[in-house]
Structure 1
Amino acid sequence: MTNNISSLPYPKGKFLLGNLPEFIRNPLEFITKCTYEYSDIVPLRIGFKTAFILTNPEHVEQVLKNQELFIKGQGFRILKMLMGEGLATTEGDTWFHQRRLAQPMFHNKQIATYADLMVGSTVQMLNNWQEGETRDIYADLERITLEILAKAIFSLDLSEEAAKALVLTTQEGAHWFEIKRKQSFLIPNWVPTPENLHIRNVVKQADKAIYEIISQRRISNSSKERKDLLSMLMEVRDAEDGSQMTDKQIRDQLATFMFAGQDTTRITLSWAWMLLSEYPEVQTKLLAELQEVLDGRLPTFVDLPHLRYAEMIIKETMRFYPAIPILSRESIKDCKIGDYQVPKGSHVIFAQWAMHRNPRYFEEPDVFKPERWANDLEKRLPRGSYFPFGDGGRICIGKAFAMMEMVLILATITQKIHLEIEPNHPIVAQLTFTLKPKHGIKMIVKKR
């Protein structure tokens, strides 16, 4: 039996704009309100577009798993301006071909080779921190996560010019996306608005740095001797047709890894230290685990299975402050979600922010409690109720890399430094494409 989706209760909107004003003003608050006040599927009218909010994890999982019926939402698609035709933005056969080529780079054996790099870069950063000084942890993590990615991807220290270009692209890209979101993505990227022209120029400078690195690697012909991601991209061949990636395809994959991987990792770690400062009992338990497992030495890849509480802190941080708090898909055919008919071209919205804080699935959802992840909670939860890395075939390919990086950086810094929130600094969560601290997170350094 198929039910009529238009018969479901929905939030009344404005005459012409529908629910657009509320959605643009504060999408997280609006979606959370809809989650608690309406049914499993909440019909919306976003201007002249048909949209639905999904609040049932079964429906969320159905959409995430079905790539043949649902493609990335419009918000994701406009990111082609930054990432090109990379894994995060392509669909169908193009995506499947790229995923098959990139998958070997993220096998556990390959990822393990980056552990010492992550710890070493973190220690080098800490050597510049002084007792009693105030640091913007969000800014510091921007530099270190970029450095780690650059060494993992390129096996080199970025020049100051290249680093500035890539950092600027991330920063300006977030600002540009926020403008586009407030415009409800109505103005195409090709329209020569001031913001579109500006971001094109910013991306051009980043491309110059990336293509120069690719060109130098081609000239040196040293890819076979190296084990970084760039070399693997240049050397990998499709198992079916023997094809290799073009420079443009390599550029798009590198841009995707740099822009998507670096920003989400530092955001999660920044929120983690803010929460540790607010919940000192959690930090005490973490220190006890670090003492038991490491006994004063630096963490390594083989320690990861034993740093269970550190991993729980990261999982709980991603529940509390998901780096990407909203996802959307668009139906490309008439189809069903649950027992409801959904017309082609519908925008389907589901929010990690709302699902991760839903008391139906998480006891005391507004309390930061890493212990909740003990005894394999993640496996016991309904699929679609917790998905910080997405799910289905398009689950983040860098999930294992990111989890290892976050646990190792968390352990390395906590072992050596106690961080306290600077009392007069405002901390405001700002939604762009990600959920970042608008004014950074300033913390006082106290060496252990």
Structure 2
Amino acid sequence: MTRGTGGPATPDRSGPPLDAGHIPGPPGHWLLGHVGAFRTDALGFLTQVRDTYGDVAQLRFGRRRVFVLANPAYIREVLVEKPGAFRKDRALQLARRVLGDGLLTSEGETHRRHRRMMQPAFHARQVSRYADAMVEAAERLAEGWRDGEERLLSRDMMDVTLRIIARTMFGYQVPEETEEIGRAIDTVIEAVIADTLAPVRPPDWWPSRRRRAVNQAIRTLDGVVYRIIGQRRKASEAMAGPESAADEGLPTGVAGGDLLSMLLAARDETDGSGMTDAEVRDQVMTIFLAGHETTANTLSWTWHLLAHHPEAERKLHAELDRVLGDRAPTLDDLPHLPYVTCVVRESMRLLPAAWTLGYEAVEDVTIGPWRFRRGDTLLMSQYLMHRHPKYFEEPDAFLPERWENDFIKTLPPFVYFPFGGGPRVCIGNQFALLEAQLLVAAFARRWRFEELAEPIVVPQPLITLRPRYGIRMRVWARHTSGGAQDASAG
């Protein structure tokens, strides 16, 4: 594949808008269009499209027109300047069957109202109060590891982030059912993607094996979510002060201030209304699923990348040894761990958990020089932009050092956007970044990870970018109980 800034020159924007139907793109199947290429290798196919056609290219999924945007100015127009002209694309519309009207799937005034009511739980000061609970969960998981054992580390990361989101956001201790929850989430995500790419989608009532599995998965998740809501309602009624937080087993700073407590007590500043039980369920389900899946994938990809780049791993370990010694990290340590931040940013650049955004035009709209029709889908891929050779030297290389000296401030907006942008930017972006930094520090100070040869790690672009077969690793203890560095740490 030829690498370059790619494609034809951008048309002059000074004239009248040009019909987007004239935008070139690769040839596709006469009936399915580019569905087959997307199913086979979405990341490779989109990269080839960007390198061949440049800022914008036209695809077709069945009868749907899909346009790939690889220009940060165009992406900004969609996400920041004209968000009212779009709604979420087909994948998230289909996800409403599971998520209801949660933040990921709701539109218009419903989305704005819910976001206003949820925002206080994600303010920086509130998020910082969750730091100790995050580290505690990581320490508890790592205590159960044995030196030299093989682990499905991607599943471990799902487990720890699930427990963190349940405890910090909902004041709930996840029971020993995380594998069942994980399987249910996998079933739902895979079904949504299959339905998104299907040229013809059967109705929801069709009694297929997949539909039955999805319905069972939804029942499993609903059972967990409604149990969380019921327990929190009961605890809220009994809660009289900080002492009751300890009685409920909640982390410091969480009692009465976690997201679920806020949802149950919140009143819209414009009309004084609160959330119904169904609205609370949709938000809990959304945060429960999205709030742990993305960070777990970021952590899994970070260990994968470090295992293949021993120099970066050694530099990370040296920083952690110098700053932390033989103690767990705290919130106050993060300003003194700049390389941890560089590693996390570079991991999210190369293998972003949120790898693409799709928006469907609800009206005719002009983006750049092009006029798009109502019903067109505009695809904006973090994976493509984060590896764009116009903005990154050695774009496919893992180089955490590139983020030193405030490199991020030199990038145009929407070249690097792991959390999206505009009024629908990820509400939990500060939470997720803090969690990733603290967990990288907590695990890497005590352990190093050796990736096993089989199975080969392959990115799987579903709703999030996952390792298709998981990431299986051998864990090696870096420090003995006396605090001296183990020789195996290299």
**By the TM > 0.5 criterion, same fold?**
yes
Q: CA shift at 1:199, angstroms?
A: 1.0
Q: Pick closer, same or farther for the CA change 1:381–1:372 going to 2, 3 Å.
A: same
Name the aligned partner's letter for residue 10 of structure 1.
G
CA distance in 2, matches of 1:190, 1:402: 37
Q: Pick closer, same or farther for the CA change 1:186–1:41 going to 2, 3 Å.
A: farther
CA distance in 1, matches of 2:199, 2:462: 13
- Select 2:215's aligned residue among 197, 200, 217: 200
What is the match of residue 97 of structure 1? 113
Contact 1:274 1:421 in 2 (8 A): yes
Runs of 4+ in 1 over 6 A off after TM superposition: none
Bigger drift between 99-108 and 70-79 goes to: 70-79
Tell me whether 1:427 sits opposite 2:457 in the alignment.
yes
What is the match of residue 309 of structure 1? 339
- Select 2:319's aligned residue among 273, 285, 289: 289
Bigger drift between 376-385 and 81-90 goes to: 376-385
What is the match of residue 4 of structure 2? none
- Select 2:375's aligned residue among 335, 339, 345: 345
Contact 2:118 2:259 in 1 (8 A): no
- Select 1:234's aligned residue among 252, 257, 264: 264
What is the match of residue 298 of structure 1? 328
Name the aligned partner's letter for residue 127 of structure 1.
E
Q: Pick closer, same or farther for the CA change 1:361–1:121 going to 2, 3 Å.
A: same
1:88-127 → structure 2 map (5 Å cutoff): 88-127=104-143
Q: CA shift at 1:18, angstroms?
A: 2.5
Name the aligned partner's letter for residue 412 of structure 1.
A
Name the aligned partner's letter for residue 158 of structure 1.
V
Unaligned runs of 5+ residues in structure 1 are none
CA distance in 1, matches of 2:311, 2:205: 52
What is the match of residue 174 of structure 1? 189
Query: Aligned residues: percent identity?
Result: 38
- Select 1:129's aligned residue among 131, 140, 145: 145
- Select 2:273's aligned residue among 193, 218, 243: 243
Q: CA shift at 1:99, angstroms?
A: 0.4
Contact 2:32 2:199 in 1 (8 A): no
Listed one character per residue, the Cα deviations across residues 342-362 of structure 1 (whole Å, up to 9, x for unaligned) are 111111112111111111011
How many residues align structurally? 447
- Select 1:73's aligned residue among 89, 112, 122: 89
- Select 1:401's aligned residue among 431, 437, 448: 431
What is the match of residue 377 of structure 1? 407
Contact 1:45 1:51 in 2 (8 A): yes
Listed one character per residue, the Cα deviations across residues 410-446 of structure 1 (whole Å, up to 9, x for unaligned) are 0011101111112343212222211111221111111
Contact 1:154 1:228 in 2 (8 A): yes
Bigger drift between 278-287 and 39-48 goes to: 39-48
CA distance in 2, matches of 1:224, 1:60: 48
Contact 1:325 1:434 in 2 (8 A): yes
CA distance in 1, matches of 2:170, 2:23: 52
Q: Pick closer, same or farther for the CA change 1:323–1:172 going to 2, 3 Å.
A: same
Tell me whether 1:252 sits opposite 2:282 in the alignment.
yes
Q: Pick closer, same or farther for the CA change 1:195–1:409 going to 2, 3 Å.
A: same
Q: Pick closer, same or farther for the CA change 1:341–1:223 going to 2, 3 Å.
A: farther
SS at match of 2:84: coil
What is the match of residue 392 of structure 1? 422
SS at match of 1:296: coil
Name the aligned partner's letter for residue 225 of structure 2.
I
| TM-score under structure 2 length normalisation | 0.87
- Select 1:38's aligned residue among 53, 57, 66: 53
Name the aligned partner's letter for residue 61 of structure 2.
I
What is the match of residue 333 of structure 1? 363
- Select 1:210's aligned residue among 207, 216, 225: 225
Q: CA shift at 1:165, angstroms?
A: 4.7
Contact 1:165 1:202 in 2 (8 A): no
Listed one character per residue, the Cα deviations across residues 339-393 of structure 1 (whole Å, up to 9, x for unaligned) are 1111111111121111111110110011100111122222221212111111111
RMSD across aligned positions (CA): 1.7
What is the match of residue 293 of structure 2? 263
CA distance in 2, matches of 1:133, 1:392: 44
Q: Pick closer, same or farther for the CA change 1:264–1:188 going to 2, 3 Å.
A: farther
CA distance in 2, matches of 1:363, 1:77: 37
Contact 1:264 1:324 in 2 (8 A): yes
CA distance in 1, matches of 2:43, 2:70: 13
Contact 2:33 2:59 in 1 (8 A): yes
CA distance in 1, matches of 2:116, 2:239: 20
Q: CA shift at 1:210, angstroms?
A: 1.6
SS at match of 1:78: helix
CA distance in 2, matches of 1:60, 1:224: 48
What is the match of residue 367 of structure 1? 397
SS at match of 1:406: helix
